[in-house]
Amino acid sequence: MNIKDLIKKILDLILPQRCLSCEKRGEIICDKCLYRLPKESSIYGITTLFSYSDKTVQKAIWLLKYKGIKEVAKPLAKITYERLLEDLSNITELSLTNSGKIILIPVPLSRDKQRERGFNQSTILAKEIADLDNSRSFELRTDILKKIKATPSQVSIKNRIARVKNLKKAFVMENKEVIKDRVVIILDDVTTTGTTLNECAKVLRKARPRHIIKVAMAH
């Protein structure tokens, strides 16, 4: 047993972890509750997993986004990975290319926001998804999409046109040769109108990827 697992075991004895939904001890979201969470359909061309109106989903996203609780990312990543495998199986051109691994890109934070928060919740999720990928067909990259402009939170802007304007020229692409002819997945935690993910996709399309899949944990 490594030090990390030992510390977790000790903490579980002192402060037993309970499911956010049913309060059963042992997991932050137990499998039974995880698969009962209300699912969302795709919206604005984005694959969405859960409805943010659900209280358990709200608590889970809050713990991940504002507290950086990595344990909550594990069950969320499990569902996301399963959904991604379904989506990828429907992309027929995947079988026609040997262009490399699928590129997984978390939506970046601005440098100031990253420094203030100390982590990027989308990167935490992306790492958990990559860890589930036993076939090693995913390649996590945080050096391709950059946010160069600190913008007000999209949540604070109600008008969709204003949201688009808020993010205009906020993202840039580096190392663009990496994604040419590749399948790319862009991952975010929450989407409301799809503006952030669609803006990221718009920037990445300039490098001519084979296909882009936009994914959000909750809508």
CB atoms within 10 A of CB 5: 9
Q: Band the pLDDT of 40: cuts 50, 70, 90.
A: confident
Q: Residue 167 in contact with residue 151, Cβ under 8 Å?
A: yes
As a whole number of angstroms, the distance between CA 74 and CA 124 comes to: 9
The mean pLDDT value for 11-29 works out to: 77
Q: Residue 217 in contact with residue 50, Cβ under 8 Å?
A: yes
pLDDT for res 30: 93
The mean pLDDT value for 147-163 works out to: 68
- The dihedral through the CA atoms of 143, 146, 150, 152 has a sign that is negative
Residue 174 main-chain phi, psi, to 5 deg: -125, 160
Q: What is the pTM of this model?
A: 0.85
